């Protein structure tokens, strides 16, 4: 049997070319103007599936962006693995902060730079390329199903519905997802927990139109003032979210969990370097990993009001807005959180403003079932590929579909991520380390052999 | 001698055509891309000056946009009036709120709609058209100098310097400016006080780049949070500016001033209707006119941070900013106010953020010298043109150059405005009432006759 390391080394250039073809497509799911690009990315993934030797390669329409499916079911009696990924990406803005254009992938310093390089085109493509290698050589020991969606970055709006309507198509033994990060370069990671997400958008108005600050200033409300006053009430002095009911049901860590976290060799200094932030900040009395993995948050993702262009405009803005997302932990219900924040905003909105709050939906947090055999197989494959014991970690981010697989298909999910925390996902200069592109494919290859 | 009313009625269409030619030029002084448009407006005003019969029509370069000058000095021994105006305009954004394009003037419902219609192209052009009429007929009884600048909307950055270097050119008996508003339709107004202005811009950063709210949220600072926390400290619960030293030197109104204000027939209901605001708002214990004419303010003109586009972006912004202007009253020094606000911002900025504060300059407030003969002449001319006793008012806005005329030339300024408070200057759908375009020209005509 061919050695996977040699095979992967020999095909490195061809594999990168496959990935670059996908990264060139600006499949920004959040922006209507990119609708046809999103569809083009779906087609490109189907092309790769067909070249990989998958069968029943299908595009499934949803009420939003389409879902792509392909399978290889030639091993009756052996495990069936459902691989999930997404072909959509975050908006690339602000464009001026990229050092190379977001949709013109290039390799610099051993890293692939492009929007989607690590989140998630780069990672899901590794599974397809390993499938192509093993199917091509007739050595794939398991059954595979691929489910690749186009709405992960906008909350997987229609995927749960799709899963519910295709339970037979998607039946499997477990799900594997590579859409997460390792803790540190060189050490693989298995993730057993994710935070959930809840989103809101608010707009407030203080009048029919903007006003001249000379003729009216001092006697009429200013929407920007009302907004900052309102938003400043959302946190208290200790960094906690000051919304009644926000922490309802949130459990404190067990002593064992605290020990596991504190044993991980990651320091605040390293975390800060990865973040590029000027300082750490958060709830008092919690470590950094506890804050990011086990505590809920409320973040302003964007705020706006009035004149923000070049120069001066002496205007009193009549309109202001903000986008908010909360990260959730186990036992928090997204709808209850949205209701609690909405209630808080209404209670604290200055009388001078009219407030509109939009519910942008959400998903609950996730914890993996401890001791599942696929977790052990993955641990071994990762150990072999990297020559290092994997970190067992949680993640602060959210993968909405994990809940759907659990609740609708009864399937456990294995989160085997090959990204790194400083790869700027959702930010300018997103990138993916070539080393993990290579070792990740090796780990996937070994995983399918061991899992059988 | 020809009757001014008949003459003006006969030439109405031609006068509007002259004005429309000027309004079509997007001379937005705040935006670098409009630099050549600003210059084009200067040239267009010079063309009109020449057609009006003025002499020594000159364009004077400054370090910014040019100043335009023209004169008619054929009456030795008679008064010389310096007419000041500006040919630059505010940015027209947000464009989508205009009902007709801002630089395609049109008449609807007896109003001229265009950016600059009332502020200030429409008003300064009236003086030029009356000069043209009286010079053409050989009946102009006074000497006239016109000084029209291109930087009023960005704080008249270089005009004081120009005035200081051209004291002989600009020598006169007094200045007349039409760049302000009447209190109410049908009743002319003479303005005896203006507020000053002081501007700042602040930017704060919490890190090197935006971060993923899942991977980092809860453990790093958020620039939008820092901004709203900081800006929320600028006012207290009573609507007062909560900056130490902000009110230093501000005098309370005398009982006589209070009586004058309360005698003016303007109600809060009317003011609110003009504003289009949902409610009144301001310092407790003050009337609306006191708030707008005699009290200093601090307004957020714009705020920004993070993602403000369509859809969701789960980002922790690393950068946020705000534009601030203060309206000042007599005895406040703009530089002291800027220093006080800057100090407050530095004192209250969260530790997690790095703050940069830019001084955007300012001008002091103005009060006219009571009892000046030109004030009496203007009152009579306005009374005749409108058939109504003029209101003697103040204005909440600022005309930076008034201070320069006072301090550099020793000239008193007469503020004879023909705008209305609801004409959306600095906002979408700016307009100017045809009735005041006509009666205003009549008043100017009579004023020059009476003032002689």
ipTM of the complex: 0.76
CA nearest to B353 within chain A: A278
Task: List phi, psi (to 5°) of A252.
Answer: -75, 160
Rg (CA), chain B: 23
Q: Is the Cβ pair B283, A235 closer than 8 Å?
A: no
Q: Is the Cβ pair B315, A426 closer than 8 Å?
A: yes
User: What is the 3-state composition of chain B as percent helix, strand, coil, each rounded to the nearest 5?
Assistant: 35, 25, 40
Distances from the Cα of B317 to the Cαs of B188, B209, B306, B436, in angstroms? 51, 8, 5, 49
Q: Is the Cβ pair B231, A225 closer than 8 Å?
A: yes
CA nearest to B240 within chain A: A218
Domains and CATH numbers, chain B: 4-194+365-451 (3.40.630.10), 197-250+296-363 (3.30.70.360)
Q: Are A172 and A82 in contact (CB under 8 A)?
A: yes
Q: Is the Cβ pair B211, A427 closer than 8 Å?
A: yes
Per CB-CB distance under 8 Å, the chain B contacts of A97 are 209
Per-residue pLDDT tens for A335-394? 999 999 999 999 999 999 999 999 999 988 988 887 888 999 999 999 999 999 999 888
Instruction: Quote the pLDDT of residue A121.
Output: 98
CA nearest to A324 within chain B: B314
Give the residues of chain B that fall short of pLDDT 50.
Answer: none
Alpha helices in B221-312 (DSSP H): 223-231, 255-263, 268-275, 288-294
Instruction: Quote the pLDDT of residue A1.
Output: 63
Q: Is the Cβ pair A427, B315 closer than 8 Å?
A: yes
pTM of the model: 0.76
Cβ-nearest to B219 among A199, A271, A323: A271
DSSP state of A48: H
CA nearest to A239 within chain B: B218
Per CB-CB distance under 8 Å, the chain B contacts of A228 are 227-228, 231-232, 300, 303
Of B113, B117, B116, B124, the residue nearest B48 (C-alpha): B124
CA nearest to B216 within chain A: A292
Within a 13 Å sphere around the CA of B190, how many CA atoms are in the beta-carbon half?
A: 28
Of A126, A129, A102, the residue nearest A436 (C-alpha): A126
Beta bridge partners of A354: A205
CA nearest to B421 within chain A: A215
Per CB-CB distance under 8 Å, the chain B contacts of A310 are 30-32
Cβ-nearest to B217 among A232, A317, A396: A396
CB pairs A-B closer than 8 Å: 358
State how far residue B155 is from chain A, nearest Cα, in angstroms. 9
State how far residue A200 is from chain B, nearest Cα, in angstroms. 9
Q: Is the Cβ pair A395, B360 closer than 8 Å?
A: no
Q: Is the Cβ pair B30, A398 closer than 8 Å?
A: no
Per CB-CB distance under 8 Å, the chain A contacts of B31 are 309-311
Per-residue pLDDT tens for A396-437? 988 778 888 988 998 989 999 999 988 998 899 999 999 999
Cβ-nearest to B312 among A154, A235, A275: A154
Phi-psi region of B56 (alpha: psi -120 to 50; beta: other; left: phi over 0): left
Q: What is the pLDDT along chain A (452 residues), one digit of tens a residue?
A: 679 999 999 999 999 999 999 999 999 999 999 999 999 999 999 999 999 999 999 999 999 999 999 999 999 999 999 999 999 999 999 999 999 999 999 999 999 999 999 999 999 999 999 999 999 999 999 999 999 999 999 988 899 999 999 999 999 999 999 998 898 899 999 998 899 999 999 999 999 999 999 989 999 999 999 999 999 999 999 999 999 999 999 988 888 888 888 888 888 998 899 899 999 999 998 999 999 999 999 999 999 999 999 888 899 999 999 999 999 998 999 999 999 999 999 999 999 999 999 999 998 898 888 788 899 999 999 999 999 999 988 889 887 788 889 889 989 899 999 999 889 988 999 999 999 999 999 999 999 999 98
State how far residue A52 is from chain B, nearest Cα, in angstroms. 33
Instruction: Quote the pLDDT of residue B407.
Output: 83
Q: Is the Cβ pair B222, A300 closer than 8 Å?
A: yes
Task: List phi, psi (to 5°) of A426.
Answer: 70, 10
Instruction: Quote the pLDDT of residue B392.
Output: 85
Cβ-nearest to A208 among B181, B220, B276: B276
Per CB-CB distance under 8 Å, the chain A contacts of B301 are 213, 224, 306-307, 312-317
Of A328, A235, A329, the residue nearest A283 (C-alpha): A235
Phi-psi region of A74 (alpha: psi -120 to 50; beta: other; left: phi over 0): alpha
Task: Name the burial class of residue A331, with classes exposed (0-12), middle (13-18) and buried (19+) by CB atoms within 10 angstroms of its CB.
Answer: exposed
State how far residue B81 is from chain A, nearest Cα, in angstroms. 27
Q: Are A358 and A198 in contact (CB under 8 A)?
A: no
CA nearest to A352 within chain B: B279
CA nearest to B217 within chain A: A292
Q: Is the Cβ pair B91, A154 closer than 8 Å?
A: no
Q: Is the Cβ pair B218, A353 closer than 8 Å?
A: no
Largest CA distance in chain A: 83
Instruction: Quote the pLDDT of residue A439.
Output: 97
Rg (CA), chain A: 23
Task: Name the burial class of residue B173, with classes exposed (0-12), middle (13-18) and buried (19+) by CB atoms within 10 angstroms of its CB.
Answer: middle
Q: Is the Cβ pair B303, A306 closer than 8 Å?
A: yes
Q: Is the Cβ pair A219, B315 closer than 8 Å?
A: no
**Cα–Cα distance for residue pair B212/A54, rounded to 1 Å:** 34
Distances from the Cα of A67 to the Cαs of A116, A443, B65, in angstroms? 17, 26, 57
At A327 the three-state DSSP class reads strand
Cβ-nearest to A281 among B208, B275, B352: B352
At B126 the three-state DSSP class reads helix
Cβ-nearest to A395 among B91, B214, B220: B214
Q: Can you give the three-state secondary structure of A115-148, one letter per residue? A: CCCCCCHHHHHHHHHHHHHHHHCCCCCCEEEEEE
Per CB-CB distance under 8 Å, the chain B contacts of A31 are 309-311
State how far residue A182 is from chain B, nearest Cα, in angstroms. 11
Q: Is the Cβ pair B220, A282 closer than 8 Å?
A: yes
Q: Is the Cβ pair A213, B301 closer than 8 Å?
A: yes
CA nearest to B287 within chain A: A219
Per CB-CB distance under 8 Å, the chain A contacts of B402 are none
């Amino acid at each position: 049997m061919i050695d996977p390391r040699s095979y992967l080394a020999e095909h490195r250039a061809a594999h990168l070319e496959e990935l670059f073809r996908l990264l060139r497509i600006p499949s920004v799911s959040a922006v209507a103007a990119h609708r046809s690009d999103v569809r083009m990315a779906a087609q490109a993934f189907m092309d790769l599936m067909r070249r990989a030797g998958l069968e029943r390669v299908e595009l499934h329409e949803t009420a939003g962006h389409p879902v792509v499916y392909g399978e290889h079911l030639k091993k009756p009696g052996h495990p069936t693995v459902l691989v999930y990924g997404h072909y959509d990406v975050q908006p690339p803005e602000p464009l001026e902060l990229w050092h190379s254009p977001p949709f013109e992938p290039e390799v610099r310093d051993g890293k692939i730079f492009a929007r989607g390089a690590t989140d998630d085109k780069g990672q899901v493509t590794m599974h397809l390329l390993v499938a192509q290698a093993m199917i091509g050589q007739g050595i794939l020991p398991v059954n595979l199903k691929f489910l690749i969606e186009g709405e992960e970055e906008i909350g997987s709006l229609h995927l749960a519905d799709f899963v519910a309507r295709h339970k037979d198509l998607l039946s499997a033994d477990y799900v594997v997802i590579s859409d997460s990060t390792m803790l540190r370069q060189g050490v693989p990671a298995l993730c057993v927990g994710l935070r959930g997400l809840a989103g809101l958008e608010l707009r407030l108005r203080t009048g029919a139109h903007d006003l001249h600050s000379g003729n009216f200033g001092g006697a009429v409300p200013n929407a920007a003032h009302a907004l900052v006053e309102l938003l400043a009430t959302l946190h208290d002095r200790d960094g906690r979210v000051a919304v009644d009911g926000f922490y309802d049901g949130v459990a404190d860590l067990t002593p064992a969990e605290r020990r596991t976290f504190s044993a991980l060799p990651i320091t605040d200094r390293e975390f800060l370097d990865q973040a590029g932030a000027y300082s750490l900040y958060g709830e008092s009395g919690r470590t950094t990993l506890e804050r990011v993995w086990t505590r809920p948050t409320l973040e302003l993702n964007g705020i706006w009001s009035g004149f923000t262009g070049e120069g001066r405009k002496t205007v009193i803005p009549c309109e202001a807005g903000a986008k908010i997302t909360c990260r959730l932990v186990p036992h928090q219900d997204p709808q209850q959180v949205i209701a609690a924040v909405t209630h808080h905003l209404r209670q604290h909105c200055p009388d001078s403003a009219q407030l509109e709050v939009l519910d942008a939906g959400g998903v609950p947090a996730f914890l993996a079932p401890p001791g599942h055999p696929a977790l052990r197989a993955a641990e071994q494959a990762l150990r072999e590929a990297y020559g290092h014991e994997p970190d067992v970690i949680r993640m602060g981010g959210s993968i909405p579909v994990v809940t759907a697989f659990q609740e609708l298909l009864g399937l456990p999910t294995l989160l085997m991520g090959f990204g790194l925390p400083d790869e700027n996902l959702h930010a300018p200069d997103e990138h993916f380390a070539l080393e993990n592109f290579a070792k990740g494919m090796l780990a996937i290859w070994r995983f399918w052999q061991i899992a059988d």
